């Protein structure tokens, strides 16, 4: 079995096939999430980040909306804005290795989500006031699928890069990238974005129904 080197992994992250890019970033994200979840569960106090993340503030803290429709629209607008502004837009810039910057944004969000999970810092607390140990039960919640949609949006827009960092900070520059003779597949890009958007719609509806049921 061949050894996976950083260079080889970068090739997977920027492969022409969306399924390869998504699988590589999803694997890295899963490893990061589980690691941060365990560390948060073991080392950090319960409720550490409740109401302290930007997403929580934009979502209105622990106050649920008065109806399913309003809560659904609020959650979808929040998640869609994160995907568009924090993940897709940064893909216009690539790192020195050629990796889209939005990949790093997605991993940062996933790391924070893992700490929120491990410390039970959700705006609407899950269960008793206790930290949540790593468990596959999390797959019965909309959160993992929202994160998967972020990863899909990031990898689907791998080919939109227009500038690439050159040199080391603070002397790095970002010259414009010359158009490639064979750009990444546009059908794959739009298919990935469509599936990511549909997933965010579904998870917003799922989460809105759970939030209102909890409040009731």
- Report the alpha-carbon distance of residue 144 to residue 68 in Å, rounded: 21
**Contact between residue 135 and residue 65 where contact means Cβ atoms under 8 Å apart:** no
What pLDDT score was predicted for residue 26? 98
Query: H or E segment at 94?
Result: strand 93-94
Whether the pLDDT of residue 177 is over 50: the answer is yes
Q: Kindly state the tokens that stand for 182.
A: 């064979």
Residue 93's DSSP bridge partners are 163
**Contact between residue 151 and residue 29 where contact means Cβ atoms under 8 Å apart:** yes
**Contact between residue 109 and residue 82 where contact means Cβ atoms under 8 Å apart:** yes
Look at residues 153, 191, 132 and name the one whose alpha carbon lies nearest to residue 29. 153
110 vs 162, residue with greater confidence: 110
Whether the pLDDT of residue 60 is over 90: the answer is no
Whether the pLDDT of residue 103 is over 60: the answer is yes
- Report the alpha-carbon distance of residue 8 to residue 210 in Å, rounded: 42
Average model confidence (pLDDT) across the chain: 86
Residue 1 banded pLDDT, cuts 50, 70, 90: very low
Whether the pLDDT of residue 185 is over 90: the answer is no
Residue 143 banded pLDDT, cuts 50, 70, 90: very high
What pLDDT score was predicted for residue 17? 93
Q: What average pLDDT does this structure show over 54-83?
A: 76
Please give the angle made by the CA atoms of 86, 47 and 153, to the nearest 5 degrees. Answer: 20
Residue 179 banded pLDDT, cuts 50, 70, 90: low
Whether the pLDDT of residue 3 is over 80: the answer is no
- Report the alpha-carbon distance of residue 58 to residue 100 in Å, rounded: 26
What is the value of pTM for the model shown? Answer: 0.88
Whether the pLDDT of residue 94 is over 70: the answer is yes
Whether the pLDDT of residue 117 is over 60: the answer is yes
Please give the angle made by the CA atoms of 89, 95 and 99, to the nearest 5 degrees. Answer: 75
Alpha helices in 171-215, H assignment, sequence order: 186-215
Q: Kindly state the tokens that stand for 132.
A: 């949540």
Q: What average pLDDT does this structure show over 55-79?
A: 73
Whether the pLDDT of residue 167 is over 70: the answer is yes
What pLDDT score was predicted for residue 97? 87
**Contact between residue 75 and residue 204 where contact means Cβ atoms under 8 Å apart:** yes
What pLDDT score was predicted for residue 46? 87
């Amino acid at each position: 079995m061949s050894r996976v080197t950083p260079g080889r992994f970068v090739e997977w992250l920027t492969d022409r096939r969306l399924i390869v890019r998504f699988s590589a970033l999803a694997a890295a994200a899963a490893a990061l999430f589980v690691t941060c979840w365990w560390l948060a569960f073991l080392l950090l106090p319960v409720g550490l980040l409740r109401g302290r993340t930007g997403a929580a503030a934009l979502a209105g803290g622990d106050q649920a909306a008065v109806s399913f429709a309003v809560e659904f629209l609020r959650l979808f607008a929040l998640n869609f804005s994160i995907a568009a502004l924090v993940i897709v837009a940064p893909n216009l810039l690539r790192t020195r290795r050629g990796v889209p910057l939005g990949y790093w944004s997605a991993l940062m969000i996933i790391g924070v989500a893992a700490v929120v999970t491990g410390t039970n810092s959700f705006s609407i607390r899950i269960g008793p006031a206790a930290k949540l140990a790593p468990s596959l039960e999390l797959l019965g919640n909309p959160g993992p699928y929202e994160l998967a949609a972020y990863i899909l949006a990031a990898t689907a827009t791998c080919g939109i890069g227009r500038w690439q960092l050159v040199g080391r900070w603070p002397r790095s520059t970002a010259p414009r990238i010359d158009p490639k003779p064979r750009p990444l597949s546009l059908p794959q890009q739009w298919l990935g974005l469509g599936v990511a958007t549909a997933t965010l719609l579904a998870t917003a509806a799922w989460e809105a129904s759970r939030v209102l049921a909890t409040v009731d």
